[in-house]
Amino acid sequence: MKKETQTIEFKQSWHDEYLEWICGYANAYGGALYIGRADNGTPVGVAKAKSLMESIPCKITDTMGIIADVNLLNEDGKDVIEIKVEKYPSLISYHGKYFYRSGTTMRTISGKELDRLILKQQGMTWDSVPLPNLAVRDLDSGAIRYFKGEAVKRSRLSRDEVNVSRDILIQNLRLVDEDGHLTRAAMLAFHPDPERWVTGAYVKIGYFETSDSDLRYQDEIHGPVIEQAAKVVDLVYTKYLKALITYEGITRVERFMFSKEAFREIVLNAIVHKDYSSCNPIQISVYPDKIYVWNNGNMPKNLDSAEKLFGKHSSDPFNPNLAQVFFKSGLIEAWGRGFDKIRKGCEEYGGELPGYEISENGIMVLCKACPSYLNLLKSATVTADGNTGKDEANREDNADNREDNADNKTLVINAIARNSRLTVRQLATELPISKATVERVLKALQEAGKLRRVGGTRGVWKIIG
C-alpha cells in the first residue's frame, strides 16, 4: 500500500484549498494528489467524481495557468481521482501567493526565499545580480592589489594574468554581466564600503569573560570582504586570544587555545557562504576557553551535520561568484577541501574538531580550546586562595618550587604576559609559589635572556624571544 511522501498526498474529498497543494508541487519536485483515499492510502471513494473530473482541470488552468493530468481510477470498486503535477521551470502562483511542498507539508514562500527561487529559475544566484550604478573605478585599489598578491603568491594566477587593466581583471573573474554591469560579487569583494548596498557586510567580534552578558570589549571589521578574513584573524590572535607560554627545553613556545590555520578557514567559510541578504554581520564571540563563529548562511541539505561536513563531499558554495574570487586568490580550496584543512589544523594542534550547529537561523561553529592550552590556563590561574593553611615556609620547602622548575617559569611568564606591571610581591600573591622562589625564577629568566625589566621599580616586564 502506498504511503504519503514528499510527492504523494491523500485526501478523502475535494476542497478548492487543495489547489495550493497543486501549486506547491509545481514549484517543488512535482507530485500526485489522490482524492478519495484515507490518510493510510485505503480507497474510500469520492462523491461526484465525474463532475470533479471536469471542474478540477479548469480550476487548475484558470487559477495558475498550468496543466495537470487528472485521471479517474477505480480502486476496490471505488472512484479515486489522481491529479499528477509536473515540476515547472518557472515559479507558479495561486491567487498571488507562492506555495512549496517541503517534506509532507505545504508552506507559503516569500521574502528572501522567494527571491532566491526566482533567481534560481532564471539561472542566477544572489551574488550574480548586476548593480547598474557601480563602476570599476569605484572599486578599492588596495583590495585589488591584495587579491593580485595573494593569487600570485599561492600560484592560482600568473603574473601575466594579474598584470592587466582593472577592467580586464574584473571581466576575467566573471564579475560583469552581459550588459557590462558589475555584479554583487564584485561589490562585496572589492568595494571599499559594501555596506552601501548590503547592510551587515562586516564582522563583529566581542570578548566575553564569564557569561554571555559579560561583554568586556568589541570590534568591527569593515571594508572589502576579500580583506576581512586576514584582518579578523590578525585581530583575534593579537588582541582577543591570550598566548600562554611554555618551554620545550630552552625554546619558548606560545600556545593559543585553537589552531590559527583552522580558525582562518572557518572565518573564510563564514564570509564566502554567508547569506548577505540577511543584513546580519558575522559574529565572533571569544571566551577564555572557546570561540563561537556565527553567520546567517545555509548549507546544502545533504550537509546537515559535522560528520558529513568533514566527510568527502562536493563544493556547493552559497555565493558561487564570490567563492570563485576567493578561490582565484588562493584563500580557499575547491572540492570541499576546506574542511580537510580545518581537520589537519586541529590534529596538528592536538585539539578536537569544531562543532557545527546548522539551523534555519544560520550556522554556529564552536571552537573549543585544546587540552594543552586548558592545562596551561588552569596552572596560570591558580591563586594563593587554593593554598589556604600553607605558610611561606611550607611553600618554600615544596620541591616543585625550585627556581629551575620549568612549571614555575611558565607560571611567572604567563602571569607577566597578562599583566606586565606585576611586582614580585604581587606575583607571589597570585601564584602558588613563595616570594623567594619568584625572585629566583625572575633572576633565572633574566640571566637566560628571556625576560627584561624596563623602567626600574616602577617599570614593566618585557618578555624577550
Asked if residue 181 and residue 104 are part of one domain, the reply reads: no
* Cβ(41)–Cβ(17) below 8 Å: no
Contacts of 335 (CB under 8 A, 6+ apart): 314, 315
Residue 96, pLDDT score: 87
Would you list the DSSP string of 257-306?
SS-HHHHHHHHHHHHHHB-GGG---EEEEEETTEEEEEESB---TT--SH
Rounded-to-integer distance, Cα 254 and Cα 244, Å: 6
83 occurs within a structural domain: yes
3 occurs within a structural domain: no
Asked if residue 360 and residue 233 are part of one domain, the reply reads: yes
Task: Determine the structural domain holding residue 263 and report its residue range.
Answer: 203-314+331-371
Q: State the total domains in the chain.
A: 4
Residue 396, pLDDT score: 40
Asked if residue 404 and residue 300 are part of one domain, the reply reads: no
1 occurs within a structural domain: no
Full-model pTM = 0.65
Rounded-to-integer distance, Cα 152 and Cα 158, Å: 6
Across the chain, which has 465 residues, the per-10-residue mean pLDDT values are: 84 94 92 94 93 94 93 94 90 89 83 74 83 93 96 95 96 93 96 93 94 90 96 93 78 86 95 90 95 86 69 76 95 79 91 88 92 82 39 38 62 84 82 81 89 81 84
Rounded-to-integer distance, Cα 460 and Cα 58, Å: 87
Residue 185, pLDDT score: 96
Residue 380, pLDDT score: 64
Residue 339, pLDDT score: 86
454 occurs within a structural domain: yes
Domain boundary among 196, 226, 252: 196
Residue 384, pLDDT score: 30
**E-strand spans in 128-281?**
203-208, 215-221, 244-248, 251-255
Residue 34, pLDDT score: 96
| CATH code of the domain containing 73 | 3.30.950.30
Residue 403, pLDDT score: 41
Rounded-to-integer distance, Cα 331 and Cα 107, Å: 39
* Cβ(201)–Cβ(225) below 8 Å: yes
| CATH code of the domain containing 215 | 3.30.565.60
Residue 89, pLDDT score: 78
pLDDT single digits (tens) 72-106? 999 999 999 999 999 987 788 899 889 998 887 88
